[in-house]
Structure 1
Amino acid sequence: MLGLDLLKEVPGLLEEIKALPLRLDEERFRFWLQQDYPFVEALYRYQVGLLLEAPQAHRAPLVQALMATVEELDWLLLQGASPSAPVHPVRAGYIALLEEMGRLPYAYRVVFFYFLNGLFLEAWAHHVPEEGPWAELSQHWFAPEFQAVLYDLEVLARGLWEDLDPEVVRTYLRRILEAEKATWSLLL
């Protein structure tokens, strides 16, 4: 799913995420959703920054991704997420990483945006049953429209990949994976 063989740059970390023994009870789910809101809000700002620098050919896929993020924020609010709720340190750390990545050159930011979306969906598909309280969100993320957005992001990332410094890529991929693992660990 992740394309670009990005995971070969950081072997083993996705398997660690998939091996987490999560407990998906409703109380933990609600807490996790509440903690997802500030991260998705930060992701929205990250995407706006991408759009400000995007060449014309990149704008349509990035606008579609941004719309999916806006829809996710709306859905989280409908689930009871509060924009003013305290942010867990794990999520604050991931938000800080997004803000740091937002200062990188455009090409890195696009590749990392694609990667973190694909990584999240890979972990989600592994951990979350298709039925139950998470079904509506699964349907949103795995809908053909969002899969098309992810494909378009992969095309953009592939077009930018060759010019990136492999060490910078490895460093940030590792940090993204570690932040994802910490986030999923909130469901232990």
Structure 2
Amino acid sequence: MPFIEEVLGHWPEALEEILALPVRWNPERFAFWLRQDLPFVEALYRYQVELLREAPQAHRAPLLHALVATVEELDWLLAQGADPQGEVHPVRREYIALLEEMALLPYPYRLVLFYFMNRLFLEAWSAHVAEGGPWQELSEHWSAPEFQAVLFDLEVMAQGLASGLDPGLLRDYLGRILEMEKRTWSLLL
């Protein structure tokens, strides 16, 4: 079993909890969620800039594509009326603090955790988001072949780095990421 799958395998209940949340999609709730997504995506952008800055040459192109996708998401969120000066929900502040803490780890850990965040978010998005609605454009963004290729590249890079990392440390951070994802998706309950 690949190392990434082994680490993910320690948290099947946590992932299932996220996927089973009774999310209620309506325009008002979704607009609130989007407004709260902007500060997190901005923090994720900064996290990615530092990843790209330290990346070995072989990792730069995939990380650059991931960064472009994040910039496009920020543009989309702003076009939806998200306010960069708006109040940040405590759940989002905690997730941003976790990102900032993870940014202090060595590059290989940060890359593997970045892959985990993307994979977990996309699994949850696929489980919760129906076709149509005000989120359709964002769904198309995440399901586009270009972004799926970026996710595949991130997985390959993470697999290449993971075997030399402390599995306990990765499991700890993955557990914390899962908890933050659950709390973030719970904003839609």
Partner residue, 2:26? 25
Q: How many residues align?
A: 186
The AA in structure 2 aligned to 1:130 is E
The AA in structure 2 aligned to 1:44 is Y
Q: Distance in 1 between matches of 2:92 and 2:53?
A: 25
Deviation of 1:86 after TM superposition, in Å, equals 0.5
Deviation of 1:10 after TM superposition, in Å, equals 1.9
Partner residue, 1:108? 109
Alignment of 1:5-20 (within 5 A): 5=5, 6-20=7-21
Partner residue, 1:35? 36
Deviation of 1:133 after TM superposition, in Å, equals 1.3
Question: What secondary structure, in the 3-state scheme, does the structure 2 residue paired with 1:4 have?
Answer: helix
Runs of 4+ residues over 4 Å off in structure 1: none
Runs of 5+ in structure 1 lacking a partner?
none
Alignment of 1:29-68 (within 5 A): 29-68=30-69
TM-score normalised by L of structure 2 = 0.96
Q: Distance in 1 between matches of 2:40 and 2:57?
A: 27
Question: What secondary structure, in the 3-state scheme, does the structure 2 residue paired with 1:125 have?
Answer: helix
Q: Distance in 2 between matches of 1:154 and 1:11?
A: 19
Partner residue, 1:141? 142
Partner residue, 2:153? 152
Q: Distance in 2 between matches of 1:185 and 1:125?
A: 16
Deviation of 1:131 after TM superposition, in Å, equals 1.5
Q: Distance in 1 between matches of 2:52 and 2:99?
A: 15
Q: Distance in 2 between matches of 1:135 and 1:14?
A: 24
Partner residue, 2:171? 170
Deviation of 1:52 after TM superposition, in Å, equals 1.4
Partner residue, 2:85? 84
Partner residue, 2:99? 98
Deviation of 1:23 after TM superposition, in Å, equals 0.9
Q: Does 1:4 align with 2:4?
A: yes
Q: Distance in 1 between matches of 2:10 and 2:52?
A: 27
Deviation of 1:9 after TM superposition, in Å, equals 2.4
Q: Distance in 2 between matches of 1:78 and 1:31?
A: 14
Q: Distance in 2 between matches of 1:4 and 1:167?
A: 12
The AA in structure 2 aligned to 1:93 is E
RMSD: 1.0
TM-score normalised by L of structure 1 = 0.97
Q: Distance in 2 between matches of 1:114 and 1:72?
A: 17
Q: Distance in 2 between matches of 1:11 and 1:103?
A: 27
The AA in structure 1 aligned to 2:4 is L
Partner residue, 2:119? 118
What do residues 2-40 of structure 1 show as CA deviations (whole Å, max 9, x unaligned)?
A: x93142022310101112111111100000000000000
The AA in structure 1 aligned to 2:129 is V
